Structure 1
Amino acid sequence: MNRPRGAPPLTLQTPGFAHYGLAWSPFHNTRLAVASAANYGLVGNGRLHLTSVGPAGINLDKQYDTQDGLYDVAWSEIHENQIVTASGDGSLKLWDVMLNDLPIRAWQEHTREVFSVDWSNIHKELFLSSSWDGTVKLWSPERPRSITTLQAHSSCVYQALFSPHQPDIIATCSTDGTLKIFDLRSPSYMPSGPGVNNFTQPLSSAALTVPASGTEILSLDWNKYRPFVLASAGVDKMIKIWDCRMVKTGPDTTLSQGVGGVCETQLAGHEYAVRKVQWSPHRPDLLASASYDMTCRVWSTTPSPGGTNLIHIHDPHTEFVVGCAWSLYDEGVLASCSWDCRVNVFHV
C-alpha cells in the first residue's frame, strides 16, 4: 500500500461503534484491525473490525460482535491469522480471522475492564494484558490460565508493553501518575492478607518507578531504536520523553528498586488529554499522538534549527481521537481512530 504525500486520508466508517484501538498486522502490510464499542464503551456490545487498506480506500473484510465493548487489539506475532482482544467484561479473546463466528480461545481472570493487550515481538508465543483491577498478566495462547500476574499498581493500569529490545522487560502506566518497569525474570507476589510474611511472599516491586506526572498517565511506548527510552502521555496534555537509564536513587533505594529517570523532552501542544502515543518503527526521533482534542499529531524530538517539534496535525476527526498506529511496512503512513466511528489512514 502506497499513500502519496498530500493525498486525502482514506476513511472507513463503522456506524454505531466508537473506536478504542487499532493495530496493523505484522505479516500483511494492508491488514488493519480495529477494536470498538457501542455507546462509546459505556454500556453494550463490542465489535472487532478486520479491514484491508488499498490505494482506493479501506475495505471492511470481516467483523466479530462481542457481548461487551472492546478496548484494545493486538495481532499474534507467531500466527498471521490470529488476533487477541481486550474487553470491558474483564475477558481476553483469541480470534482466527479465517473463521467466521466464535473466538478460538477465551480467558477470564481480570476482575475489571481489560484496557490493553500487547504481543511480544521477541518471545513471540507470549502476550500481556493490563486492567483497571491494577494487575498485569502474562499469557500464552496455548495455556488455559495466565503464566504470571503482577500487582503492578494500586489502581487502573492503562497500558503494559513489552520492551522491543529485552524480552523480559515490560513497562506500565497508571492512574497513579507513574511509569513502572518490571523484570519478569524476578517474579514477585502480593501477600494474601495482613500479617503475611513478606520474606516468603514479597511485595510486588518494580525494577524502576518513574513519577512521570501529577495526573493520570494514559499511554506509553518504547522507542524502537533507543533501549530504555520511553514516551509517556496523559491527562496533563504533555508528551514526555524519559531516559530510564539515568536512574535517580534515594537513600532507601537501590539500582534494582530505583525511583526516577530523566525527562529528556516535553512536547506541548495538545489542548486536552493525550490518549495514545506511539514511536515510529522507522525513525528514532519520530512519534505520533492521539488526543481528546480531536487531533492526531506527529512530532520530532530532533527538530531542525529554528524549527518546532510539531511536524503535522491531522484534524478531520469530529470526536475524541483515541488511537493511532504507524504502518510497519510503509514509512510515514499512519492510521487514526476516533469516537466519531471513523478510521483514517494518511501519509504524514
Structure 2
Amino acid sequence: MYSFRTTGFNGYAVQYSPFFDSRLACAASANFGLVGNGRLYVLGLTPDGIVAEKWFDTQDGLFDCAWSENHENQIVVATGDGSVKLFDISLSDYPIQSWREHSREVFSANWNLVDKSTFCTSSWDGLIKIWSPVRPTSLSTLQPPGGQLSCTYAASYSPYNATMLASCSSDSFLRLWDPRAGGMPTNSVYAHNGAEILSLDWNKYRPEVLATSSVDRTIKIWDLRFLGNNSSSSASPVNELLGHEYAIRKIAWSPHAPELIMSASYDMTARVWIDSTALKQPSTTFSSGRQPARRPNAGLRSLWDKHTEFVVGCDWSLWGAEGWVCTVGWDEMVWVWDVRSAVVQ
C-alpha cells in the first residue's frame, strides 16, 4: 500500500489516469469545502511511494475531477463557485479553458467513454450540462423535473452508449437521459424511498446494470430492463448491499470483474462487495462464489479502515493486477491499496 497527504486540503475525489498506470488526479478543498481555495493534485506512483508531480490552486474548493479520454495531459474539475475548468498538466498554472454556467456548486464531472469528445457535469442547481473542450459554451442542458428544487449530485455517461446518461439527485430519483430526446428524462426511478442519492456508476461488463448509493446507507443494483417505461415507483432493485454505518458517498464498479463494486462512506471505511447477480460466471481469482442475501454485510469482500475521517472518493486501477484501488478522504489522505490485502474472512 502507498499513501500521500494533501496537507491543508481535504480530499473530495480521486481518479486513475486512463493513459498511465502510475498517475492519479486528486481534487481537494480547504476547510472541508466550506470556504477557501481548492487544489488539483497530479500524483505519481514511484518505487519510493506517491509523489506530487504537479498541482494547480483554484480560488474555490474542488469537488470532482475527470481525466480526458482524448488527451493524456488534460483534466476537468468541478468547483464550488459554479465554474468548470480544464487544466493541461504540461502547461502553466492556469486553466486552458473555463466555463461558468452553473449557478451553484458543481459536484460531479464525467468524461464520455464512447465518443470521448464530450463530458458532463452536474450541480447543486439541479442541472446537468454537456460540454466540449473546444467549445466556449455548453452543448446542451438537462433539467430534471422540479428544477432547482433538487440537487443533482452525480451524472455519468453509459460506457456503451455515447448519448445515454444517468443522474441521481437529492429528490431520491435515478434518471436516464438521452439529449437527442429533448430536455426530459427518458426514464426515472424513485430509487431510495425519499433518501438523497449521492452516487451512481454503470457496470463495465453488463450494459443494462448500474448501481446507486444513498444517505440511507445502502447500495442498490438496478437492471434497466426491469424499470418499465418512464414510470417508476413500482421498480425494484435486483440486489441490495447493506453494512455501511453512515451515508455512502461514492461507488465504483470494477473495470476487471462484473461482480465487484467498491464504496466509500462517511463511516470512514471503503469496502468492496460481490454482487451476486453477476456470479453465474465469476471472473476473478479472488471472488468467493458466495451468494449474498439481503442482510448486513452479505457480499462484503474487503474492508479498508485506514482513513480517520469521511471517505468520499474511490477508483479502481485500470492497469496491472486487478485488485489495486485508490481512496481519498477528509483526513487529507490518499491511499493506494490492494483489495486482496483487506479481504474479510
TM-score with structure 1 length normalisation? 0.89
Cross-structure match for 2:203: 223
Indicate the SS of the match to 1:245: helix
Deviations 1:24-83 (A, max 9, x none): 111111110000000000000000000011343111111100000000000000011111
Task: Tell me by how many angstroms 1:259 deviates.
Answer: 2.1
- 174, 188, 200: which one aligns with 1:179: 174
- 305, 314, 317: which one aligns with 1:315: 305
Cross-structure match for 2:284: none
Task: Tell me by how many angstroms 1:171 deviates.
Answer: 0.1
Cross-structure match for 1:25: 17
RMSD: 1.2
Task: Flag structure 1 segments of 5+ consecutive residues without an equivalent.
Answer: 1-8, 189-204, 249-254
d(CA) in 2 for partners of 1:274 and 1:247? 23
Indicate the SS of the match to 2:115: coil
The residue correspondences of 1:291-330 to structure 2 (distance < 5 A) are 291-302=265-276, 304-305=289-290, 308-330=298-320
Cross-structure match for 2:240: 266
TM-score with structure 2 length normalisation? 0.90
Task: Tell me by how many angstroms 1:305 deviates.
Answer: 3.9
Does residue 169 (structure 1) correspond to residue 143 (structure 2)? The answer is no
Of stretches 145-154 and 67-76 in structure 1, the one that deviates more from structure 2 is: 145-154
- The number of equivalent residue pairs is 317
Does residue 244 (structure 1) correspond to residue 218 (structure 2)? The answer is no
Indicate the SS of the match to 1:293: coil
Indicate the SS of the match to 2:225: coil
d(CA) in 1 for partners of 2:290 and 2:134? 52
Cross-structure match for 2:252: 278
Task: Tell me by how many angstroms 1:12 deviates.
Answer: 0.1
Task: Tell me by how many angstroms 1:306 deviates.
Answer: 6.9
d(CA) in 2 for partners of 1:259 and 1:168? 22
d(CA) in 2 for partners of 1:15 and 1:32? 17
Deviations 1:104-158 (A, max 9, x none): 0100000000000000011111000000000000000010000000012531000
Indicate the SS of the match to 1:240: strand
Aligned-pair identity in percent equals 51
Cα distance change on mapping 1:305 and 1:46 into 2, 3 Å: closer
Task: Tell me by how many angstroms 1:210 deviates.
Answer: 1.0
Deviations 1:233-292 (A, max 9, x none): 0100001101121123xxxxxx3x332543111111100000000100110000000000
- 336, 340, 345: which one aligns with 1:345: 336
d(CA) in 2 for partners of 1:124 and 1:153? 28
Does residue 67 (structure 1) correspond to residue 59 (structure 2)? The answer is yes
Of stretches 49-58 and 266-275 in structure 1, the one that deviates more from structure 2 is: 49-58
d(CA) in 1 for partners of 2:87 and 2:171? 33
Does residue 143 (structure 1) correspond to residue 117 (structure 2)? The answer is no
Does residue 208 (structure 1) correspond to residue 187 (structure 2)? The answer is yes
d(CA) in 2 for partners of 1:305 and 1:70? 39
Counterpart amino acid of 2:164? I
Indicate the SS of the match to 1:263: coil
Q: Which has the larger radius of gyration?
A: 1
Cross-structure match for 1:88: 80
Cross-structure match for 1:195: none
Indicate the SS of the match to 1:48: strand
Q: CA contact under 8 A between 2:291 and 2:299: conserved in structure 1?
A: no
- List structure 1 runs of 4+ shifted beyond 6 angstroms: none
d(CA) in 1 for partners of 2:83 and 2:263? 27
d(CA) in 2 for partners of 1:30 and 1:165? 26
d(CA) in 2 for partners of 1:320 and 1:61? 25
Cross-structure match for 1:196: none
Cross-structure match for 1:6: none
Indicate the SS of the match to 2:24: strand
Task: Flag structure 2 segments of 5+ consecutive residues without an equivalent.
Answer: 277-287, 293-297, 340-345
